[in-house]
Each structure stands twice: as C-alpha cells, then as structure tokens.
Structure 1
C-alpha cells in the first residue's frame, strides 16, 4: 500500500514537473513571440540589385583597341576601348587651320578700324583748320576778296565731306567688328566652337569606365565599325549594390524606413548573415510595371495578393568581406519592432556623376590662345 502511494507521489511529481516545463516553454515562447517573432517580416523573394552601366561610343568609328575583357575588374577612369582617331585628328587640324585663317582675316579688319580712326582724327584736325581759316577770312570783309573767301568756303566744305566719308567708313568697319575685342568677335567665336567640337570628338575616341566595377557582356571587337550609342560592353558596379525584396502587400503595414534587416545569401549560407536596413519602397507593385500589366476590369478576375519591391541597403563593410553579385538570391528578415520611421518614403539619393571630357574645353582654350597669339 505504502509502495503504491510512493509510486503515485513520484508519478504526480513527474507530471507536475513536466507540466511546469511545458508551461515555462509556453510562457517563454509567448514572451519571445510578443517581443521578437511578432515583429519579424521575412521573404525569400529577394534579389541583389545594382548598377549595370552600358558602355557605348558617343561617335561613329572603328574599334582600334579593346583593352579589357569579361570578368576583369576596372577602376573609374580606366581606358576600356580606343577607336581609330585618324579622321578626328585630321578634323582637328582643319579646325585649327580654319581658326588661324579667320583670326588673320578678322585681325585685318581691326587694323583697318585703327587706320580709319587715325584718318578720322586727321580729317577732324583738317576740318578745324579749314573752319578757322574760313572764320578768319569771313571776319575780314572788305580786306579779303570774295574770291579768297570762296576758296576758303570750298576748302571747308571739302574738309567736311572728307570727314563725313571717313566717319562712314569707320562706322561700317566697326559694324563688322561689332565693337568687341578680336577674341570675342562672332566669326572668331564660331571658328572656336568648331575647334572645341573637333577637340571633343578626338577625345571621344577614347572610351573610359565611368565607375569602379567588373566588365561583363563585352561585344566590342577590333576592327568593328560602330555607331554612336551602340552597346560595346557593360561595367557592373559591385561597391554600390542593394537588395530588392518583394514583400506581400499584407506585410507592408509593419515595415518602415530605417528598420534593420538580416540578410541570408545563398552563396554564404545561414551561418554568415549580412545586415542592412530599409531605405525605400517602390511606387507600385511588380505587376503594374510588367510588360503586360493585368487588366483587372476583365470578367474573369481572381484576387491575388500582390508584392511590392522594398529597397534594402547592405552594410558596406560587410560587403567588403562578403561580396555579392547582381541577381543573387537572398532571404531577408525585417525587425519591424521600431515603427518610428516613415511608412512611405524614398532614400536620400546621391547623384551618379562621371565626366572624362571636361578637360576638352581646357585643351581647346590652350590651342585657341596659341593660335590667337601667332596670328593676330
């Protein structure tokens, strides 16, 4: 009897301990759910995105050199392709010769203006002398003969006519020079602009990489004739990449700008997660931007939960040790507990800039100054 009671007590204690364990597990799970799991939003419909910069020529030409190939890492400003530049150099030489010719011709006009100004000054002096001679003779009526007075008057009228003619010539020449300096003359500026265009085209025979990245889809071949805008290769920037995670619309109510994200890339597995944060939302669902957007007004309609692309920025320091490639699959989990960020918004965008022909104006200016000095 006592043995049975002892067994019952032991069994009751075991059941009580087991129940306590289950209760503790339940309480722990409930606490964990309410504090963590409740705020987690995840999806495996997430892919790595980035900038794919298409490299093309700005002028028509023939490929002379291809200096890089697929999978090769390149730096911003690195020469990728060289086009045959014989025609462009010839055009540049012609533009220089034409500018020199225009400067010489225009300089003669300015010299004629200066000569005309000297002529006008001389005729003004002659007019003053003739006027004084006429006034003197006219005041001595009775002393000076009418013939002398008539000669003085004729001389005065001749001086006036000569000055008028010189003034007319000067005005005509000044119209041709537009009253501006030689280097600002419209004819000179027109030739200078042609020179700048020739310099720019000569520069454009060298095609540079606008970003740091990796070469992909090279199609350019030596000897190939290309048109302006023809794609020659692409450079994929791997330093500035992101993840576009396609969350269901029902998940978006909890997702806000700035929330932290845990990223599991298939290439690294679950033991090497990356981290990031929400930076923006697409303006619409993926379906409305498809080639054939849905026509929901049609008769046969079935409601389907839509997905909205959400932009996730990746920690740049982690990317240095765990680089990703554009198009890779990832699983992302958002900790949506902090709702202080905006529910809708766009990230602060830093404009992409790249210019490799900015020195063309500087070079053209140096050529212009040299030609101006040699021919004015």
Structure 2
C-alpha cells in the first residue's frame, strides 16, 4: 500500500466519500437499501365537515350550543323567531278551510242538480201521458163529429188541448236538457275546486315546513366547530351559522406516482400523527383516487409549452383508520400525519382485508 493511501487524511476522505455514497443510496432507496415500504409526509386527517345554514331568513331567537360542544342528531342548534311563520301556517289553514267549504258546496249543488234532473224526467213522463190522453180524446171527438154526434167547437177544443199537451212535452224536454247542462257544469267546476283544495293543502304543508325550519337541528352526531351566530342576529338564507364535524374520519395520503407500484386496496398502513407525539396508528388502503391531484386543480398546467419540466405527480390514496384504537378519538380533520405502506403484502391478504372493511 502506498504512503498516500496509508495517510490519515486520505483514509478520512475515502470514508467520507463512502458515507456520502451510502447516504445517497439510502435516501433514494437504492440497493442495498431498497425497501418495499413507501412513505409520505404529504398526508392529512380528513372528515366530513358540515356547514350549518338556515333555509329561511329571520332574527335568531336562541343559540342552543357552544363552541366545540358534542351534539346528537336532532339536537337544537339555533332557533329563529317563528311568529311570522306560525301566522302563515294559520293563514294557509284558513285558506284550506275556505276551499274545502267551496268543494262541499259544490257537492251539495251537484246533488240538487241531480234532484232537478230526476224531477225533469218525471215531468217528461207526465207530459207524455198528457199528450197520449189528449191525442186519444181528440181522436174520439173527431170520430163523433164525422157521425154528426159532436160539434165542430168540441173538435177544435180537443185539437187545442192536444197542441198544448205537445207544447208541454217540448217544454219538459227543454227543462230536462237545462238540468243536464247544470249538472255537467257543476261536475266540471268541481275538478277546479278539487285542484284548489290540493293547492291549499300543499300551501299548508309548505308553511308547516317553513315553521319547522325555524328550528335548525343537528343532522347527525358530531362535534360543533366555532359558533358564528349570535342571539338577535338577522340571518338570511344560506348564512353560515356553524360547522359540525362527525366522528367518522379517515386519512388522505398523496403519494408520488413512482411510489404506487405494488399498492393494493386492503394493504396494511401505519401512520403517525404530529399532534399526538408521533404515536403509531394503523389502518389500511381503502380506495385510490381516479386521477392525480393536478387534474382536480382549478388552474391546470399546460404541458404542451416548450419549457416543459417533468414533475412527479401525486395520487391521493384514501386510508381507512382501524377501529378500537384509543387515540383515534383525539384525531381531528386537518392534522398532519406521516404514512407508511408495505407494498410487499401478498395479494390474498390485501383482498381479504378489503372485503372485511366493506362488510
């Protein structure tokens, strides 16, 4: 070995160079430091944050919750002054009662028209009988006059009575036709009255819904965020009053595209949470995003430009948090986590874990 190699400075330099090479190999996960575990710090706890807003305008009468309070589904959050909406319900009910009375009156009118129709039919029968009687009487008198037994005046009187009976029959038939038209008019008008009643019933239901909406209730179990509404405040439709965070949470990890090889649904996941002193928690891969995050951005990059620079894209991976872990109750949406996934998990085990999660 030469003196240059044996000198302490050269040995130190060689050791530093070797350490640097090993450090680069370790940082890039190159052999002999290649690993099946993929990790990312670009991950966060997620949850369904529900914005609580009113469906109608009014002054706030009561704020029943405080910041960060735990609530159950159906608990009162905010009460809006309901006096106007109570009167609207009474007004709609009064309109409904009037329409129902009009419909009942139409029913009575229809029954009266049917009675007049039956009366007209009876009058026709009576007029037909009168015509038949007058016709028979006129025939007898004409026969007697031809034999010289009856006078001409009696024949003329019999003919007059026959004409009057026939006129009475035509009048009875016309009256019957009028009665039929009256009944039909009532029947046609009844359809409009029934529609008016249904409209009034719908108005009552809408007014009742508005009255019910003055009580803004929790849609599900969860924990309130900061309450942004105050007693006596006037709120409009859609005003953000508060936020509700349900207990169900998960993790979204944004892995680089070159880390996705070998990842499968159901593979076990370990992650640590910065806010919990990096305490370890477990979960498993639940779903993969259908596109990278850049595809969902509002301003998308145009890679057709001449100054293109390749940038590794990230794909969001949804991770279900395993149950029965004490620290999961302390997780809050938005917390930063560090996620690690072992891509060497066998396919059979991954499929089994995914099936158990869906059940």
TM-score (norm 1): 0.75
- Tell me the alpha carbon deviations over residues 195-226 of structure 1, each in whole angstroms, 9 at most, x when there is no partner: 11111111110001112111113211111111
The 3 A distance-change label for structure 1 pair 275 and 139 is: farther
Contact 2:68/2:226, CA 8 A, preserved across alignment: no
Q: Do the aligned residues in 2 keep the contact of 1:102 with 1:187 (CA within 8 Å)?
A: yes
Contact 1:98-1:191 at 8 Å conserved across structures: yes
1:257-279 per-position Cα deviation (integer Å, ceiling 9, x unaligned)? 11111222223345x42221111
Task: Please report the RMSD computed on the Cα atoms of aligned residues, expressed in angstroms.
Answer: 2.5
Contact 2:131 2:165 in 1 (8 A): yes
Are positions 1:103 and 2:100 aligned together? yes
Aligned residues: 306
Q: Report the TM-score when normalising by structure 2.
A: 0.79
- Runs of at least 5 residues in structure 2 that lack an aligned partner in the other structure: 1-30, 142-157
Pair 1:85-2:82 in alignment: yes
Please say if 1:73 is aligned against 2:70: yes
- Which moved further from structure 2: 287-296 or 166-175? 287-296
The equivalent of 1:243 in structure 2 is 251
Whole-angstrom distance in 2 between the partners of 1:210 and 1:315: 25
Contact 2:225/2:245 (<8 A) preserved: yes
1:255 is aligned, of 256, 263, 267, to 263
**What corresponds to 1:364 in structure 2?**
none
Query: 1:70, CA displacement in angstroms?
Result: 1.4
Q: Decide whether aligned partners of structure 1 residues 210 and 244 sit closer, same or farther in structure 2, where only a CA change above 3 A counts.
A: same
Q: 1:202 aligns with which of 189, 197, 211?
A: 211
Indicate the residue corresponding to 2:44 in structure 1.
Answer: 47
> 1:146 maps to which residue?
159
- Measure, in 2, the Cα distance between the counterparts of 1:285 and 1:327: 20
8 Å CA contact 2:71, 2:223 repeated in 1: yes
Q: Secondary structure, in 3 states, of the residue corresponding to 1:254? A: coil
Local SS of the residue matching 1:273: strand
Contact conserved, 1:47 with 1:243, CA < 8 A, in 2? yes
CA distance in 2, matches of 1:56, 1:243: 27
1:46-96 Cα deviation digits (max 9, x unpaired)? 110000000000011111111112111111111100000111011111111
Aligned ranges for residues 351-362 of structure 1 at < 5 Å? Answer: none
1:222-260: CA deviations, max 9, x gaps?
1111111111110011x2110000111011121111111
- Of 325, 329, 337, the residue aligned with 1:318 is 325
Alignment partner of 2:248: what SS?
strand
Quick one: structure 1 residues 178 and 269, their matched pair in 2 at CA, closer, same or farther if it must change by over 3 Å?
same
